[in-house]
Chains A and B, each alone.
Chain A
Amino acid sequence: MTVNTSSALSLVDVRKQYGDHTALGGVSLEVPVGSIFGLLGPNGAGKTTLIRMVSGITAPDSGTVSFFGAPLKGDDIRDIGYLPEERGLYKNMRVGEQAMYFAQLRGMSKSEASKALKVWFERLEVDGWWNREVADLSKGMAQKIQFIVSVLHEPKLLILDEPLSGFDPINAEIIRSEINRLRDECGTTVLLSTHDMSSVDELCDNVALINHGEKILHGEVGLLRERARAGKIDFRFRGNLIAFTAALGAGAILHSAQSDGNGAHDLVLGIPSETPIENFIKWSSSEVDVLSCSPKVISMDEVFLKAVRSASLNHIIS
């Protein structure tokens, strides 16, 4: 498999073994430039191992990791930002001093770092805290500082491991909008590892699902959801339920039905993929009083669960 040069990150058949335990058993994926890529999976799936390899902490036993078309090398750390899941700061250092330290570690000059930090501090509303010690910060503020420290040096690739964990809803929203802004305005590629599916729904363009060290699903979020939708529609109508169900015949599958007390019925139907939804609406309007009809919204949660279950089934079978 040749390396795709329009990918910010390209993993080809990456494997990692720790003693008897296979952390990654041959994973390949492509992260397109300027996209937000979700790395999903249950705990222990191999996400952290993969992330550590991309952020430069470990190296694969076999397989390649390519960064913007070339094998990942030492200098690339200047262009990579990393926010680990378990994160911390030096408690007894001042906030500003520490942020400068980390910025310089990533290759920024003092003046560059200073300028960039002022902007970020203001944007995330922590600018009064420059001279305070980290130990004085609240958890949410410390997390914001940690986020700033990972993005400060304008990395081309930003690796975020559970970035929203520990944030209250307001701050989580701030971080979310920053991530989007980085992609939209700065063209940053973001590798987001999480098992918070609501973030995935909102943020990610593409995802890959890892379990037991293997990739079991990948693709564009929209497409995946559409696939998982499997032609399901939400259908609400007034009329005779039994008659309608009979009229459906073999043309559609009835997944579920609910009736409210006022004569309206909510059905989840599966219509064949060849049938455009408009045709079905047309047909059903002639049978009953259609209140609403729309494609069923499948959340990434459901996509995730479905994929993990069928993968486990495959494991059992094979």
Chain B
Amino acid sequence: MIIHTNRFKLNQIAIVTLSVVFGFCWVKEIKSAEKDPFSHLGSVSCASASCHNQNLGKGIPFSEYTTYTGFDPHHKAYDSLFNPRSDRMMKNLYATGAGSAATHQLCLNCHSPSQGESSHKTTGFSVFEGVGCESCHGAGSGYIAVHFTPKFLELSSEEKEKQFGLTNTKDLVSNNKMCADCHIGNTKKGMIVNHDLIAAGHPRLNFEFSGYLAQYPKHWKIEKELKRQPDLNAKAWAIGQIDGSRVALQLLQDRAELAGKKNHPWPEFTEFDCFSCHKDLRIDSRKYQSGYGGKPGALPWGGWFNGNTLKIALEDKNAKAFPSEVSLQMNQFGQSPGKVVESCKIAIQQLEQAAKELDNSPFWGKPQLESLAQKLIESGKINEAKYSWDEFTQIYLGLAAIHNSWSDLDPSGVPPEFTKDMVRLKDLLKNVFPNQFDSPKLFEDRFSTKKTIVQTKETFSSVFSSLRIK
């Protein structure tokens, strides 16, 4: 239990720092209408009292639906379209008469993802269910009648998906992909949160797979999963980095291809570091003191998905998969769409390969975890002067995943200093968001020990120089 509590605390930063969070969506890739032979039956089909709604308690087998309705915010994804924020977003985005977000296809694409498949719905399906069972597990008509039979249970995950439409949830790449459609974006499915939407009021998307996974109110037994894959948490981080970057690059490629078309602004500002622009101006910024890497005042691309943590996750053997060329193109004004598309294509292929390799690689043990942690800490130390809040948070999330895996492998073996340092780092990253703020307003103050404002508070330098894992 201690581990779980700890884990929750460590990872909640991914969400809590953005003071208001809604819009959890978790969908399976919807196959294009003509190819998908299966129909959506609606969550009610899973929720019978004798099946997945036995009401035994959180996370207990056969209480999956119980757990989901009781604890999982996806359950409320559709409801959120009726809240005041959604109303305001509609007003900001469209002139009066635009109607409710709950009837707007762009919103429904994530907030009730099965809605788009009208030809494949049965009477049981309802738009009200938001992100329901089939949004992630696949349309149920193919497997509902057989998925409990011994013969079905003998099949491989791939076969279950291919023949019966039950989505493979047993490998991390598939899992990440499942979340990423909504939480990062998928142009082909109309699942897009661009800067227009965020300015109108939508929370920013900063998905990090391992953190979300650790936080997720699970309707399955984590112990069973860990037995199957002991390094689950750390691998989820590395795969999340690599495959997350791939999805983000696919989104970028699509955006570049559509650049300038209606509703496809270019440059698309969500591609860039939010807090580079969105900060109150000050005369003593770190950039002013330490200088800019590139052209001063340029939009810095990809702090969240394509920073140094991706480099670390790729390790030396896959270093070439890092999207350096995309970075080069995106970091210069003009952001030539043609060149961005070309460079994305190459990087996507390599990242896809790297993620698969990693998913099939042998389980990590403590030495690998230690080495990764060292690299993350080192990166934070070296780049302390130029890292953004995003980059520090990514390092923190990586370390948190490693910390979790370490305690999975050896519950009493985690150095207590490491745990303590992680809590300090988490607090530091969280506490730079004052009440009511969605941006790290106090971030810059936490670098200089000279300023009176931080005299009694901790700075990033102090935490990074004291991070101890041995």
- Check if A and B associate: no
The residues of A with any CB-CB pair to B shorter than 8 Å are: none
